[in-house]
Amino acid sequence: MFRAETGPTFESRQGEGCKGGREEEFRTLFEAYKDRVFSLAFHFTGDTPLALDITQEVFLKVLSGIGEFRGQSQFTTWLYRIAVNVCMDEFRRRRRFVPLAQATNRHLTSLGRPQEEALVRRQVRQAVQAAVVRLTPKLRFTVILRYVDGLSYEEIAAALGCSPSAVAARLNRSHRILARQLATLRRSTD
Amino acid sequence: MFLNHVSSKISSYCHDALPPEEAARVSAHLEQCQRCRRRHAKTASIVELLGYLERIRAPVLLWDDIEMRRRRPAPLPVPETSTSAWLLRRRGPIAAVAALLVAMAALETLRVTNESPGGAGIFDELDLGAYLHPVQAASPAASYRALARAAPGFDSRERDDPLLASGLRSVPDASPLPGYHLQAQHIGSVGAHRVVQLIYGNGSEAFSVFVAPASVRFRFGSQSAFDTVVQGIRCVKVDCPMQQTYAFHEGNYQWVLVSKSLDQARAAIVMRYFIATHQREVDNDARQTRIFVR
């Protein structure tokens, strides 16, 4: 599972560089975190163009607000908070997102050949993504930060502004809901 | 015997996120409680399925889109709070500001119209009226010639011109419609943006597609336009019976399809083609077939 590849030194150096308004520093920071932000937005919305818009908005906010970053928390925590807020703004604006188009929770059959296995894997992934998009925003963010970004309960709590025990409760609830939604899939992949 | 079921701890247990003594208690309980064991098995399988979620790489051209947005003029400041109570308390000042803004917008419109009649104006607005007008009453042969020329204000460039020099990163090789081929591409500047005109023809019929960033506003001369849905595609149709002109968008890009003879079904095929081209790019397709304007 993916873990943060950039330590505090990198983060503080990048943050300071951006505060100074250096274009190259911002570009480096963008390159380091763009996949993380885009993934969060995509898994939250299930919609690629919308995820692109959100990602752009997040980095524009980072650029305009980097002066307010005090370094009291990790840069990634600050970045996640901005990303979560932009996602929520978009969610409120649209009230709901269009679910992933081709994702269906259908019975899957593996025939064993490599291409077919890859196809089944892709179908499973799409079905899981679609189920995650149907969770409530709070549960969705928790699941994404845990499973896509591999954050610990404490890191998720810091990013979402809640306690680690709330993170545990949200994950527990998410698992229950997803177990119902993905029941067919669970049986077919067993 | 099992007053203390551990169902609320099972997710944390699966994630190895419990303190050691708590994990030992859950483990001991699972050995004896069938109900919690079933629950654990279910959760473990969901944890495994969620492992299919993966980080997705952002499109390579995302930085260019951000740069484009950074260069846009800043929008007018908007109040931070927007609750109905806040609005109610300030409805007087808001109405006054709204009236002032409307008046300013009207003045700006007049200024744009006066400064650049019929052409690409300031404030990122492009009026296609001078291009659309000759198409309206033209015969089929004349409309072919009218559609196949560059829109006023657009540089004429032949198809073989270097793509990068024209601001066009890449053009899809395939045609939106069977039998039609890309005949020419023309470049126009609208504010800080470039707009590309692609002309497709089959020898007797032609149609144009204008590609622009979403921040460019299109106008259609004296013709009005209305929102509509063409075969499931939300778009704007220019209100003229003598031509089939549609504006549609996807993400940060928009297109205007100008044609004389394409029926709605074929217009929808063209629209879907460009929307799909854009989506293919943002879906990290390695072929990078997106039309990119800067």
* B129-149 tens-digit pLDDT: 888 888 877 777 777 778 877
Domain co-membership, A90 together with A24: yes
Contacts of B283 (CB under 8 A, 6+ apart): A48
* CB-based contact, B20 to chain A, within 8 Å: no
Is it the case that residue B229 has pLDDT exceeding 90? Answer: no
Domain co-membership, A26 together with A62: yes
Which of B42, B50, B58 is the closest to A55 by Cβ? B58
Size of interface A-B (CB pairs under 8 A): 120
Is it the case that residue B122 has pLDDT exceeding 70? Answer: no
Is it the case that residue A71 has pLDDT exceeding 90? Answer: no
The chain-wide mean pLDDT, for chain B, equals 73
Q: Is residue A106 part of a domain?
A: no
- Mean pLDDT computed over B226-252: 84
Is it the case that residue A170 has pLDDT exceeding 90? Answer: yes
Domain co-membership, A80 together with A117: no
Domain co-membership, A84 together with A20: yes
Q: Is residue A79 part of a domain?
A: yes
Query: Which chain A residues touch B214 with a CB distance below 8 Å?
Result: none
Domain co-membership, A11 together with A87: yes
Q: What is the DSSP string of B174-231?
A: S-SSTT-EEEEEEEEEETTEEEEEEEEE-SS-EEEEEEEETTSEEE-TT--EEEEEET
Which segment of B34-48, B65-79, B127-141, B212-226 scores lowest on mean pLDDT?
B65-79
ipTM of predicted assembly, 2 dp: 0.80
A93 CB burial (10 A radius; 0-12, 13-18, 19+): exposed
Identify the CATH number of the domain in which residue A53 sits: 1.10.1740.10
Say how far apart CA B256 and CA B210 lie, in whole Å: 5
Query: Which chain A residues touch B46 with a CB distance below 8 Å?
Result: 175, 178-179, 182, 186
Alpha helices by DSSP H, listed for B116-168, are 129-136, 140-148
Is it the case that residue B289 has pLDDT exceeding 50? Answer: no
Q: Is residue A102 part of a domain?
A: no
Per-residue model confidence (pLDDT) at position B39: 92
Which of B50, B66, B279 is the closest to A143 by Cβ? B50
Q: What is the pLDDT of residues A109-162, one digit of tens each?
A: 333 455 667 777 888 888 899 999 999 999 999 999 999 999 999 999 999 999
Which of A39, A43, A171 is the closest to B11 by Cβ? A171
Per-residue model confidence (pLDDT) at position B96: 64
Q: Is residue A104 part of a domain?
A: no
Domain boundary among A97, A121, A151: A97
DSSP conformation class of B241: T
Say how far apart CA B249 and CA B265 lie, in whole Å: 18
Q: Is residue A158 part of a domain?
A: yes
Domain co-membership, A92 together with A135: no
Residue B127 corresponds to which amino acid? Answer: D
Domain co-membership, A62 together with A118: no
- Mean pLDDT computed over B211-239: 83
B59: left (phi over 0), alpha (psi -120 to 50) or beta: beta
Per-residue model confidence (pLDDT) at position A148: 94
Q: Is residue A182 part of a domain?
A: yes
Per-residue model confidence (pLDDT) at position A39: 94
Per-residue model confidence (pLDDT) at position B109: 44
* Contact yes or no for B55 and A148 at CB 8 A: yes
Per-residue model confidence (pLDDT) at position A111: 39
* Contact yes or no for B53 and A147 at CB 8 A: yes
Say how far apart CA A87 and CA A82 lie, in whole Å: 9
Say how far apart CA A92 and CA B69 lie, in whole Å: 22
Domain boundary among A97, A122, A154: A97
Domain co-membership, A3 together with A77: yes
Is it the case that residue B105 has pLDDT exceeding 60? Answer: no
Best interface-test mutation with B: which of A37, A153, A175 has the largest number of B CBs within 10 A? A175
Per-residue model confidence (pLDDT) at position B91: 59
Percent of chain B residues past pLDDT 90, beyond the cut: 16
Per-residue model confidence (pLDDT) at position A112: 46
Domain co-membership, A149 together with A181: yes
Domain co-membership, A84 together with A115: no
Q: Per the structure block, which two tokens stand in for B142?
A: 């004349």
Q: Is residue A135 part of a domain?
A: yes
* Contact yes or no for B54 and A148 at CB 8 A: yes
Highest mean pLDDT: which range of A51-65, B96-110, B154-168: A51-65
Interface of A with B in 51-110 (CB under 8 A): 52-53, 55-56, 59-60, 63
Domain boundary among A97, A130, A155: A97
- Mean pLDDT computed over B208-220: 84
Q: Is residue A134 part of a domain?
A: yes
Domain co-membership, A89 together with A122: no
* CB-based contact, B22 to chain A, within 8 Å: no
Say how far apart CA B141 and CA B148 lie, in whole Å: 11
Domain extent at residue A23 = 1-97
Domain co-membership, A76 together with A122: no
Q: Is the pTM of this model over 0.80?
A: no
Q: How confident is the model at residue B200 (pLDDT cuts 50, 70, 90)?
A: confident
- Mean pLDDT computed over B264-270: 88
Identify the CATH number of the domain in which residue A134 sits: 1.10.10.10
φ/ψ of A147, rounded to 5, equals -90, -30
Q: Specify the number of domains making up chain A.
A: 2
Element containing residue A14 per DSSP (H, E):
helix A8-19
- Mean pLDDT computed over B83-89: 51
- Mean pLDDT computed over B26-43: 92
Q: How confident is the model at residue A21 (pLDDT cuts 50, 70, 90)?
A: low
